[in-house]
Amino acid sequence: MGHKSDKKLIVNGKRADGRELDQMRPIEMQIGLVNRANGSALVKFGDTHAIAAAYGPRELMPRHKQEADRGIIRTRYNMAPFSVDDRKAPGSDRRSTELSKVIRLALHPVVFVQDFPKATVDVYIEILQADGSTRVTGINAASLAMAAAGVPMTDLVTACSAGKIDGKLVSDLNGIEDNFGEADLGYAMIPSKNMVTLLQMDGALTKEELVTLLNMAKESCKKIYEMEMKVLKEKYEKALE
Ligand code: ADP
């Protein structure tokens, strides 16, 4: 983000990949592909693909890390070395440490941690392909994986990005838009409570632009929520057959 460039991100009112300004990329969601996990999900926003695997609630070891009256949530965000054009150095770095933390904070408010004292829910998020907005794609995958694992939750957390490119406000930034745009916003919410659990911004926006973008993000999140509820229902309807 923020690099000066002649790159045209909007041509004749449409984005370089053919999208309308408020259009998200094609979204796909799938549940239950990691056999060993208690719950898992694959979420694709265009060429950004995130897989999440949730384990637990399970006893937290070592014991001295346990909380007597509640459980904890641990998250790990990891970008696969092959997820970007130039191979990324494997392992954690400052960025992945930050993202693991903000993702955990974004998910925590929906979880009934009092229901599993001394235990942990561990959520691993692997970015298989990165083309912008990986943290929000990862949050959607993690939330679905936790729901599929049967973690006690009040609701899902849904997430999306929005930003400003070539002076226009747009939904769901891809990698080029994120890199060469003027501003980007990462947003997560609890739809049933209308509560925001992640809000990060990079770049410059006026107050009016920020308000518009927040509304755009909320609209996108509502659409994502419907899709997520649909895949979850399908899974459980199948299980009941
Ligand atoms: P987010 O993926 O949540 O938008 P960033 O703003 O940090 O988070 O990253 C934007 C995009 O930049 C990523 O989605 C990815 O396409 C690209 N990117 C991030 N880190 C790397 C990296 N180490 N190597 C190559 N591309 C990267």
Q: Does residue 5 belong to any structural domain of this protein?
A: no
Distance CA 22, CA 119 (A): 41
Closest-CA residue, ligand 1 atom 1, reads 133
Instruction: Establish whether residue 100 lines the binding site of ligand 1, counting it when its CB lies within 6 angstroms of any ligand atom.
Output: no
Asked if residues 37 and 53 have their Cβ atoms less than 8 Å apart, the reply is yes
Q: Does residue 220 belong to any structural domain of this protein?
A: yes
Distance CA 153, CA 73 (A): 12
Q: Does residue 154 belong to any structural domain of this protein?
A: yes
Question: Which segments in the chain show pLDDT lower than 70?
Answer: 1-6
* pLDDT at residue number 4: 52
Residue to substitute in 134, 139, 170, 200 for testing ligand 1 pocket (most ligand atoms within 8 angstroms of CB): 134
pLDDT tens per residue across span 164-188: 999 999 999 999 999 999 999 999 9
Number of domains in the chain: 1
Distance CA 105, CA 139 (A): 10
Instruction: Establish whether residue 131 lines the binding site of ligand 1, counting it when its CB lies within 6 angstroms of any ligand atom.
Output: yes
Q: Does residue 32 belong to any structural domain of this protein?
A: yes
- Dihedral angle sign, alpha carbons of residues 108, 199, 192, 158: negative
Instruction: Establish whether residue 176 lines the binding site of ligand 1, counting it when its CB lies within 6 angstroms of any ligand atom.
Output: no
- The tokens for 9 are 């991100």
Q: Does residue 3 belong to any structural domain of this protein?
A: no
Q: Which domain holds residue 27?
A: 23-234
Q: Does residue 110 belong to any structural domain of this protein?
A: yes
E runs forming strands in 168-234:
168-171, 183-190, 195-203
What CATH number does the domain containing 129 carry? Answer: 3.30.230.70
Q: Does residue 14 belong to any structural domain of this protein?
A: no
pLDDT tens per residue across span 84-109: 999 999 999 999 999 999 999 999 99
Distance CA 221, CA 189 (A): 7
Q: Read off the pTM.
A: 0.96
Asked if residues 50 and 43 have their Cβ atoms less than 8 Å apart, the reply is yes
User: Which residues does 129 contact at the CB level (< 8 Å), separation at least 6?
Assistant: 47, 48, 49, 83
